[in-house]
Structure 1
């Protein structure tokens, strides 16, 4: 009885800390996108897509696919196909659909936005999947803390990485002017996400401790590469903001001081200082101005790249809003 009670406590703690860790991971990803934050409503929709809709669709389609596969194959081949082929394909298709659905939105500017959107969907899915695993292992008598350690910490960013990689390539496709290259980038991004997912599942399911170690090492390396890539994307985003906002300084729309604050690496620190020195209203005003100006710069870049008149309307609307803040 004491073992059951101990495992139940582990279950409760695993669910609680699993939610906290998911929120922490999302905060890190949100922090990386420091110059133009994505709309909270859109991120919330994507998170719910990953946390609610994708698991439901995945369960239905995975069970159906496994039923068909069981007619043709059985035993270990069926288990391998289920874990390493069916599950990755079904899950990446439905997670990817969430990101693909918003690729035409004007808020989706570049590869960094794709990373944020894709990772948000992945974190939503991972949270639900992990909680289901916690309950399943508790019912089966498996120590839940070990499951929590592996799924929420060692491999806690897996699904965020898989769908984030797809989002990055969708972002690269969006900024490309070549129609064929857009398709190539999108297909390659999905294939890469799918292969990462499938190889992870195969390694941890069929190759014992060596497979887990290999997958954990690859996971850590991929996280490091993605973070370095995000900072590289931030560097270019900052460069574009400096370039396209300088015209607004010359036109008299904004001051040079505000211009420098928008692209500063320490912009969040400066806004925190405004919060403590001048209060919430001044902080909200400064934050709103920075977001609007960063958005203005990126919309100008998008307009010059595509010539889409919808961006031109955005540019004029943002300028009008900035004038009201002056």
Structure 2
């Protein structure tokens, strides 16, 4: 074994492949990635990288325009002082969401640019579209002369769940259109959905906290503001996340199975279930009994008996998916190990978070470039294993074989880079 902790495969000889694996790559020289073959006939040309970057740039420009409009017509009327207080208070729940997303995503990390886009879409794009579409939709579903209670009920229980969840889920559809590399499995869908929902709740909380702060100033009491902060900032930071995560989960399962029918069925099913939970959350305020002596008592009982079990169920599903990712990665990388690409010790290193950190720390002692190479090798290996799992549930195509070849070449190049920076020039 060399000093990198990644033993080099044999210099010659064909790797023995299990006959049950028709997706493994015949490799006559493990040190020569150029000899992997042409990857089969290419029936479709890949999009140039600039196309994806141009799409992202255009999207960010549109989102920047939406942010300016939100600032001019919604944030600015609150006033600078009120906006600052509301913004600071809204940082608390969004920080809780960010922490949860970091924990979920760190095992198979997503590209940072797409994570930033997801949050901005939720905080700007989905909010702007909700304001644009929500008003006409509410007018369409509201009777000609409604009472105040009827109009409020329709807006909270019908308009908000349907429009808000649809606009948030539009960000997930955009990520799927740009490429399956962003949403390739259930955990990916949950991560992006959580960021979009967290961004939406962040902007919404600024508005709620700003209005309650105005009311507190007008009444000369701070109880109104702290009650709003307690309900939205501490009790329900994951409310929007739970609603939108169901659509992300459905789209992620469909992406893993590579099924167009599942995209539609599970996507619409998850979106509909998210709308139902959203309507249940908003509608509770219309049906719960209110005790004047203790206004929050009825809501807290409902919260503990209904919302907490729903949240724990969803948290259990996410935890199961995290453990499932670990099993998938070990199984698929072991398959590549039998084909001669990884040693058993390497597979153990790649599936354990602690060993990954130790490997990066060891490489970092030889310089920043070696640490970057180790980090890229780990990420490429993770992507290789998860992609193989997805392909085995669908079918291998010329594009997936080319992607596999590129990942194997990237792993080989990272091995060479790490070895050149860590092995002594003069043999001891």
Structure 1 match to 2:164: 91
Alpha-carbon distance in 2 for matches of 1:271, 1:81: 56
Structure 2 match to 1:198: 279
TM-score by length of 2: 0.68
* CA deviation profile, 1:175-214 (whole Å, cap 9, x unmatched): 3466545433222211110000011001135524424531
Matching of residue 106 in structure 1 with residue 180 in structure 2: yes
Shift of 1:90: 0.6
Alpha-carbon distance in 2 for matches of 1:128, 1:325: 42
Matching of residue 311 in structure 1 with residue 311 in structure 2: no
Shift of 1:269: 4.7
Alpha-carbon distance in 2 for matches of 1:285, 1:316: 18
Alpha-carbon distance in 2 for matches of 1:236, 1:70: 49
Contact preservation (8 Å) 1:155, 1:219: no
Using a 3 Å threshold, how does the CA distance of structure 1 residues 132 and 258 change in structure 2: closer, same or farther?
A: same
Identify unmatched segments of 5+ residues in structure 2.
Answer: 1-79, 217-221, 291-295, 416-428
Which sits farther off after the overlay, 13-22 or 295-304?
13-22
Alpha-carbon distance in 2 for matches of 1:272, 1:252: 23
Contact preservation (8 Å) 1:302, 1:311: no
Structure 1 match to 2:379: 291
**Count of aligned pairs between the two proteins:** 319
Contact preservation (8 Å) 2:360, 2:374: no
- The SS at the match of 1:148 is helix
Match of 2:341 among 236, 253, 258: 253
Q: Which has the higher contact order (CA 8 A, sep 6+)?
A: 2
| 1:45-124 correspondence runs (5 A) | 45-68=117-140, 69=142, 71=144, 73-104=146-177, 105-107=179-181, 108-124=183-199
Structure holding more helix per residue? 1
TM-score by length of 1: 0.87
| 1:1-326 correspondence runs (5 A) | 12=84, 15-68=87-140, 69=142, 71=144, 73-104=146-177, 105-107=179-181, 108-141=183-216, 143-176=224-257, 180-207=261-288, 208=290, 209=296, 210-215=298-303, 217-267=305-355, 269-270=357-358, 273-274=361-362, 280-304=368-392, 305-326=394-415
* CA deviation profile, 1:104-134 (whole Å, cap 9, x unmatched): 5222111111111111100000000001111
- The SS at the match of 2:341 is coil
- The SS at the match of 1:103 is helix
